Amino acid sequence: MIFIKNKSEIEKMRAAGKLAAKLLDYISSYVKPGVSTLEINDLCEEFTRKHGAKSAPLGYKGFPKSVCTSVNQVVCHGIPKATEVLKEGDIINVDVTPLLDGYHGDSSRTFLVGAKTDPTVETLVRDTERAMYIGIEQIRPGNRVNDISNAIDDFLTPKGYGIVRDLMGHGIGRGFHEDPQVPHFRQNRKLAKLEPGMIFTVEPMVNLGTWQVNFSKEDHWTVTTKDGKWSAQFEHTVLVTEKGYEILTISD
């Protein structure tokens, strides 16, 4: 069931989205060599609380931390750890979801760690962010979710990337994960039609190698690339408007 948000709900989603953007802006200056992923988590938690919100991931289906920190070959849902210390040349996706006044603002960015990143990896990160925006540009009333999926695939697949298929974007509002699902790879079927008031995430996960992934049997959360090659992700929460779209998690 897809929930169409009313004006009041949209305003609350705008506030939650704006806080998510501010949180990622804030944490960006701390992403550097020598910093642990647990330090990033704790700083995000402190910032979130100071702004009158809660960290939605904390305790969600048993997730133990406030944000997801996914380094290098970790695709998503990486669990912050004191022993995981960032190094020069790493990449890290920080995925945040503050819960403000009962509504979720969900966004993530992949950061380059330090000043020396392998050019192939840097291109992966740049192309992943561009792919997200290419998908978002398809959002308007009358289009369908598969228009987003196909546009992203048309940009990434000719470049030789693997687009993760097991994890997708999703509707969001009062619920952390709502309908519709938003795939980022080509769909040979019609998916949900876009209507004003729909809010969902666009969040392609893009691998340097195969699209296939492994789900951790130890912590039941961490997702890694099957071939060990690196992965990047970007995510925005987007509203369908009367004429197009509004990115709710865009940075000022």
Question: Residue 252: what pLDDT?
Answer: 86
Say whether 252 counts as a known binding-site residue: no
Strands (E), the chain: 54-55, 68-71, 74-76, 91-96, 98-100, 103-104, 107-112, 162-163, 169-171, 178-182, 199-202, 205-207, 213-215, 223-225, 231-233, 236-240, 245-247
Say whether 104 counts as a known binding-site residue: no
Domain chopping of the chain, boundaries: 7-247
pLDDT at 191 exceeding the cut of 90: yes
Say whether 95 counts as a known binding-site residue: yes
Phi, psi of 238 (to 5 degrees): -130, 135
Question: Residue 195: what pLDDT?
Answer: 98
The domain made up of 7-247 has a fold known as Creatine Amidinohydrolase (3.90.230)
pTM over 0.85: yes
Over residues 172-199, mean pLDDT: 98
Question: Residue 192: what pLDDT?
Answer: 98
Say whether 195 counts as a known binding-site residue: no
Average pLDDT of the chain is: 98
Say whether 203 counts as a known binding-site residue: yes
Say whether 129 counts as a known binding-site residue: no
pLDDT tens-place string over residues 79-138: 999 999 999 999 999 999 999 999 999 999 999 999 999 999 999 999 999 999 999 999
Question: Residue 144: what pLDDT?
Answer: 98
pLDDT tens-place string over residues 27-68: 999 999 999 999 999 999 999 999 999 999 999 999 999 999
Over residues 173-199, mean pLDDT: 98
Question: Residue 30: what pLDDT?
Answer: 98
pLDDT at 69 exceeding the cut of 90: yes
For residue 19, which of 48, 42, 41 has the smallest C-alpha distance?
48
